[in-house]
């Protein structure tokens, strides 16, 4: 069997061995429910409280902030938007976001529009950076919330989040930051930003899937969207996923401790990958910002070819990658992020999203940059669009 | 997701490439949608003596183009016009449902090539 090289970490990280080890006792030995008053319940309560502290430490939150564990970042984003909008409805009905947010932001907002809310989506420039002037201009006296990603998961662009937070702060509008793609990749500090809400994902920190968290700062009110036994300070009913929460906590602690080392490791691999791929082949371009980008992300498009075909050929040789091509999406729509950046629809089909992880090595990059050019060449020879007339 | 036959035609496309002395070219699809297929034919006595393709698109688009050329080669124009998307998909041991319509365009490309060929001699498909 061909050795597998994973360049698709955005789709899923392996759980860190140390995380798994820390989780295992919570399946059988310490299986208590935090709602129980007996000793097993107390033990579980302590474990969840400890995980909250680990999250607080990763993003510079305060011990008085509420850390609500959810079933993942999608639920946390739903809770942030729907929970905030409903709770603060009497203050206004206008929410500002960007055109390049994750679908777990855009689709809850579509739902809110049907409920009578108004949403403004701020466009981005050719590098995928949110246009700050447009953001300022979008504010009305009805605006109750900004919801903006720190970094884009698909093209890797890091937005000027401090400037966005300052615009929100000056207008006294609460800010929700979707930090799923950035936490554990670059420094994230909710206190410096003065954000009111922040979403995190466990698996993006090399923790287990099925766990996420919404950080709700003191003074910010939201209402629950899941009703039941009133767990998680009444904001997320359902017996806590203690083992998963413990795993997310450990993952957050490791991500914080090893942040600088990971940034150095990944940036080196990423820069070499981008340079070699974009200079070795013609009609090959980087998507996203050239320098303000996540250390783990290289999104590259190849003119005249289609991404699913590239992805499959690479897969036959053991490389796991993802494409922004519509041909692999459930809706057959091209990537809303690339289109918003002004990338031509035909070109958007030829984009590869390469996301590096802690396990990647220089050797992986060597193999990849050797394997890729013949595949692109072959597909271009098949393509009626090539050579361009 | 893809059958072994699809993978085979994707990895080893039959009759691939531009045909310089083609009698007609049928172009179908749209790069905006992610699929563009060009079918080249050479015709003698209303028989397709040679056929080739160039395709921009996903594995299904490439495999259906390749399979179409195998099915059409040596057929009379009238027989070739009877090749359907369904027949191509079945010959490939099936396609994922979502790919049945968006990428299975090769038969349309062949129809267009045949119409262009007939048009050159003042005929239409009804004349066959």
- Chain B residues touching residue A315 (CB < 8 angstroms): none
Tell me the three state secondary structure of residue B4.
Answer: helix
- Alpha-carbon A24 to chain mean position: 26
* Structure tokens belonging to residue A376: 């692109």
pLDDT at B8: 97
Decide if A159 touches B, using CB distance below 8 A: no
User: Going from the N-terminus, what domains does chain A have, and what CATH number goes with each?
Assistant: 5-13+259-382 (3.90.1150.10), 17-257 (3.40.640.10)
What is the per-residue pLDDT across A301-315, written as a single tens digit (0 to 9) for each?
999 999 999 999 999
Mean predicted confidence (pLDDT) in A240-258: 98
pLDDT at A1: 52
Q: How much of chain A exceeds pLDDT 70, in percent?
A: 97
Contact of A249 with A19, CB cutoff 8 Å: no
Q: How confident is the model at residue A328 (pLDDT cuts 50, 70, 90)?
A: low
DSSP state of A79: I
pLDDT at A330: 65
- Distance between first and last Cα of chain B: 39
pLDDT over 90 (residue A258)? yes
pLDDT at A324: 77
pLDDT over 90 (residue A3)? no
- Alpha-carbon B46 to chain mean position: 17
Decide if A380 touches B, using CB distance below 8 A: no
- Chain B residues touching residue A306 (CB < 8 angstroms): 34-35, 56-58, 61
Decide if A103 touches B, using CB distance below 8 A: no
- Chain B residues touching residue A308 (CB < 8 angstroms): 58-59
Cβ contact, residue pair B17, A316, below 8 Å = no
What is the per-residue pLDDT across A97-153, written as a single tens digit (0 to 9) for each?
999 999 999 999 999 999 999 999 999 999 999 999 999 999 999 999 999 999 999
pLDDT at B33: 80
Tell me the three state secondary structure of residue A286.
Answer: strand
Closest to A3 in 3D by CA, of A357, A361, A251, A375: A361
pLDDT over 80 (residue A2)? no
pLDDT at A350: 93
pLDDT at A32: 93
Taking only residues 82 to 121 of chain B, the set having a beta carbon closer than 8 angstroms to any beta carbon of chain A reads 98, 102-103
Query: Has B102 been annotated as catalytic?
Result: yes
Mean predicted confidence (pLDDT) in A22-32: 96
Full-model pTM: 0.95
Contact of A200 with A76, CB cutoff 8 Å: yes
Bridge partners (DSSP) of residue A320 are A6
Mean of the per-residue pLDDT values for chain A?
Answer: 96
pLDDT at B30: 86
- Alpha-carbon A21 to chain mean position: 25
pLDDT at A383: 97
Tell me the three state secondary structure of residue A32.
Answer: coil
CA distance B67 to A346: 25
Tell me the three state secondary structure of residue A209.
Answer: coil
DSSP string for A227-277:
-SS-TTTTTS-S---HHHHHHHHHHHHHHHHTHHHHHHHHHHHHHHHHHHH
CA distance A287 to A42: 50
pLDDT in tens, chain B (128 residues): 899 999 999 999 999 999 999 999 999 998 888 899 999 999 999 999 999 999 999 999 999 999 999 999 999 999 999 999 999 999 999 999 888 877 789 999 999 999 999 999 899 999 98
Q: How confident is the model at residue A168 (pLDDT cuts 50, 70, 90)?
A: very high
pLDDT over 70 (residue A75)? yes
Tell me the three state secondary structure of residue A388.
Answer: coil
CA distance A373 to A151: 29
Cβ contact, residue pair B58, A384, below 8 Å = no
Neighbours of A183 (CB within 10 A): 29
CA distance A144 to A92: 6
Owner of token pair 């090749």: B83
Taking each helix axis from N to C end, the angle separating A242-257 and A39-59, rounded to the nearest 10 degrees, works out to 30
pLDDT over 70 (residue A251)? yes
- Chain B residues touching residue A327 (CB < 8 angstroms): 34-35, 57-58, 102-103
Among the listed residues A327, A346, A382, A385, the single catalytic one is: A327
Q: How confident is the model at residue A331 (pLDDT cuts 50, 70, 90)?
A: low
Choose among B2, B10, B102: nearest Cβ to A332: B102
pLDDT at A83: 98
Owner of token pair 């050239």: A290
pLDDT at A329: 64
Q: Could you tell me which residue, A281 or B1, shows the higher pLDDT?
A: A281
DSSP string for A150-208:
SB-TTT-BBP-HHHHHHHHHHTT--EEEE-TTTBTTB---HHHHT-SEEEEESGGGTS-
pLDDT at B126: 92
Contact of B72 with B117, CB cutoff 8 Å: no
Decide if B68 touches A, using CB distance below 8 A: no
CA distance B13 to A384: 15
pLDDT at A311: 95
What is the per-residue pLDDT across A348-376, written as a single tens digit (0 to 9) for each?
999 999 999 999 999 999 999 999 999 99
Which of B57, B62, B98, B112 to probe by mutation at the A interface, max A CB count within 10 Å? B57
Which of B1, B19, B27, B31 to probe by mutation at the A interface, max A CB count within 10 Å? B31
DSSP state of A305: S
Give the residue on B whose Cα is nearest the Cα of A386. Answer: B56
Tell me the three state secondary structure of residue B102.
Answer: helix
CA atoms within 13 A on the CB side of A153: 26
């Amino acid at each position: 069997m061909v050795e597998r090289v994973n360049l698709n970490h955005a789709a899923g990280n392996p759980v860190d061995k140390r995380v798994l080890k820390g989780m295992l006792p919570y399946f059988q030995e310490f299986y208590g429910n935090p709602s129980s008053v007996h000793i097993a319940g107390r033990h579980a309560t302590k474990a969840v409280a400890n995980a909250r502290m680990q999250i607080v430490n990763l993003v510079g939150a305060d011990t008085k902030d509420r850390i609500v564990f959810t079933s993942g970042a999608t639920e946390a984003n739903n809770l942030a938007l729907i929970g905030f909008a409903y709770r603060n409805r009497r203050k206004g009905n206008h929410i500002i976001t960007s055109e390049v947010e994750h679908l777990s932001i855009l689709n809850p907002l579509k739902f809110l529009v049907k409920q009578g809310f108004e949403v403004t989506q701020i466009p981005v420039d050719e590098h995928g950076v949110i246009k700050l002037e447009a953001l300022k201009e979008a504010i009305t006296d009805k605006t109750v919330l900004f919801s903006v990603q720190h970094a884009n998961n698909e093209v890797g662009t890091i937005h000027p989040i401090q400037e966005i937070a300052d615009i929100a702060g000056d207008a006294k509008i609460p800010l929700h930051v979707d930090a799923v793609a950035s936490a554990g990749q670059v420094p994230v500090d909710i206190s410096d930003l003065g954000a009111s809400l922040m979403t995190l994902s466990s698996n993006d920190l090399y923790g287990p899937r099925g766990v996420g968290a919404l950080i709700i700062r003191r003074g910010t009110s939201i209402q629950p969207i899941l009703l039941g036994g009133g767990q998680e300070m009444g904001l997320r009913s359902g017996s806590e996923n203690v083992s998963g929460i413990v795993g997310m906590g450990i993952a957050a602690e490791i991500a914080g401790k090893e942040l600088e080392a990971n940034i150095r490791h990944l940036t080196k691999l990423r820069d070499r990958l981008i340079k070699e791929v974009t200079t070795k082949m013609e009609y090959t371009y980087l998507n996203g910002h050239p320098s303000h980008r996540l250390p783990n992300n290289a999104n590259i498009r190849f003119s005249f070819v289609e991404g699913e075909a590239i992805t499959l050929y690479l897969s036959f040789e053991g490389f796991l990658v993802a494409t922004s091509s519509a041909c692999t999406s459930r809706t057959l729509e091209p990537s809303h992020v690339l289109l918003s950046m002004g990338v031509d629809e035909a070109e958007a089909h030829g984009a590869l999203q390469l996301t590096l992880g802690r396990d990647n090595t220089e050797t992986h990059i060597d193999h990849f940059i050797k394997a890729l050019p013949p595949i692109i060449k072959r597909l271009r020879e098949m393509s009626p669009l090539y050579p361009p007339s | 997701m893809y059958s072994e036959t699809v993978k085979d035609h994707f990895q080893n496309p039959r009759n691939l490439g531009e045909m310089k002395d083609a009698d007609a070219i049928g172009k179908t699809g749209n790069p905006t949608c992610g699929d563009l297929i060009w079918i080249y034919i050479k015709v003698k006595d209303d028989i397709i003596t040679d056929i080739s393709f160039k395709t921009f698109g996903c594995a299904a688009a490439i495999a259906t183009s390749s399979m179409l050329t195998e099915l059409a080669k040596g057929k009379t124009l009238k027989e070739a016009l009877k090749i359907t998307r369904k027949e191509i998909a079945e010959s490939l041991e099936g396609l994922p449902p979502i790919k049945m319509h968006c990428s299975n365009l090769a038969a349309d490309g062949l129809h267009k090539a045949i119409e262009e060929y007939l048009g050159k001699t003042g005929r239409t498909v009804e004349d066959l």
